[in-house]
C-alpha cells in the first residue's frame, strides 16, 4: 500500500510540475504562439518526453493529468474533449519511446542516449506529437499549424533532453 501511495504522489507531483511549466510557457513565450495551443518553442513537450523515457507509466499518467488540468480552462472544449486531448498528448511521447526502443536502438536504461539519438528521438517525438495534436485540432475545427507545432515540440524536446542528459552526466560523475 505504501508503494502505491508513493507512486501516486510521484505521478501527481510530475503532473503539477508539467502543468506549471505549461502555464509558464504560456506566459513567458506568449509571443511565440502561432495559434491556440501552438508555439514555436514549447518546453513542456520536452518534459513530456523526459517523463516517458524515465518513468513510462507514471509519465504517461502525469501527462494526461496535467493536460486535463490545462485543457479544462478552455471553455470551447467539453469534458469529453478535454479527456481526449489528455490522451492524445500522452500518446505522442509513448509512441516515440516505443519507436526509439524498437527501431532506433535506444536502451531502456538510456545508457546509449547519444547526441545523435537525442536528435532522432526529438524529431520522432515532434512528428508523433504534432500529427496526433493536429488531427485532434482538425477534428474540433481549430486552425492547422503543423510546421510551427513540430518545430515547437521538437525544440522543447531537444532542450529538455539535453538537460536530462546533462543531469545524468552530473549524477554519474565520480565525486
The pLDDT tens digits of the residues spanning 88-138 come to 999 999 999 999 999 999 999 988 888 898 899 999 999 999 999 999 999
pLDDT above 70: residue 173 = no
Tell me the Cα Rg of the chain. 16
Of residues 118, 149, 113, the one with CA closest to residue 131: 149
**Alpha helical stretches, state H, 29-114:** 43-54, 56-71, 79-102
In tens, the pLDDT along 141-169 reads 998 899 999 999 999 999 887 887 788 77
Q: Which residue has cell 520536452?
A: 46
CA distance 156 to 150: 10
CA distance 66 to 44: 10
**Mutual angle of helices 43-54 and 146-172, in 10-degree steps:** 50
Q: What is the pTM (predicted TM-score) of this model?
A: 0.91
Q: Are 39 and 152 in contact (CB under 8 A)?
A: yes
Amino acid at each position: 500500500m505504501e508503494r502505491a501511495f508513493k507512486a501516486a504522489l510521484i505521478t501527481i507531483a510530475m503532473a503539477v510540475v508539467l502543468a506549471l511549466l505549461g502555464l509558464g510557457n504560456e506566459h513567458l513565450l506568449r509571443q511565440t504562439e502561432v495559434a491556440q495551443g501552438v508555439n514555436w518553442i514549447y518546453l513542456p513537450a520536452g518534459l513530456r518526453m523526459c517523463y516517458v523515457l524515465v518513468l513510462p507509466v507514471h509519465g504517461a499518467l502525469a501527462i494526461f493529468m496535467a493536460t486535463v488540468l490545462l485543457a479544462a480552462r478552455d471553455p470551447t472544449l467539453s469534458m469529453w474533449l478535454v479527456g481526449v486531448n489528455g490522451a492524445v498528448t500522452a500518446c505522442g511521447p509513448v509512441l516515440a519511446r516505443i519507436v526509439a526502443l524498437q527501431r532506433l536502438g535506444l536502451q531502456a536504461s538510456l545508457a546509449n542516449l547519444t547526441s545523435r539519438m537525442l536528435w532522432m528521438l526529438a524529431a520522432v517525438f515532434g512528428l508523433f506529437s504534432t500529427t496526433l495534436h493536429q488531427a485532434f485540432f482538425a477534428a474540433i475545427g481549430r486552425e492547422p499549424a503543423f510546421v510551427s507545432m513540430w518545430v515547437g515540440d521538437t525544440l522543447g524536446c531537444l532542450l529538455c533532453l539535453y538537460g536530462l542528459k546533462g543531469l545524468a552526466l552530473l549524477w554519474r560523475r565520480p565525486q
